[in-house]
Amino acid sequence: MANQLENLVESIKSKVRSLKKTKKPYIKMDKSSSVKVEIRSRKARKLIDKTLKVADRPSKRAIS
């Protein structure tokens, strides 16, 4: 039983090593236009929230 487990662990290690050696183990997919719009709207929402938070505290003027 222990020998089988060792063999399994060694085979998994060798597969992981072989994946690390290849430059691109998977094909990276491009973002769809709807995902790009969603990312932009999230960034815009964060910027708006940050600006409103700063506007609520007039003693601190810098946006960081």
Segment 19-50, tens digit of pLDDT: 777 666 667 778 888 888 999 999 999 999 99
Is 64 contained in some domain? no
Is 63 contained in some domain? no
- Based on the structure, what is the number of domains in the chain? 1
pTM: 0.43
Is 14 contained in some domain? yes
Instruction: Please give the Cα distance from 50 to 57 (Å, whole number).
Output: 11
Is 61 contained in some domain? no
Is 50 contained in some domain? yes
Instruction: Please give the Cα distance from 25 to 15 (Å, whole number).
Output: 12
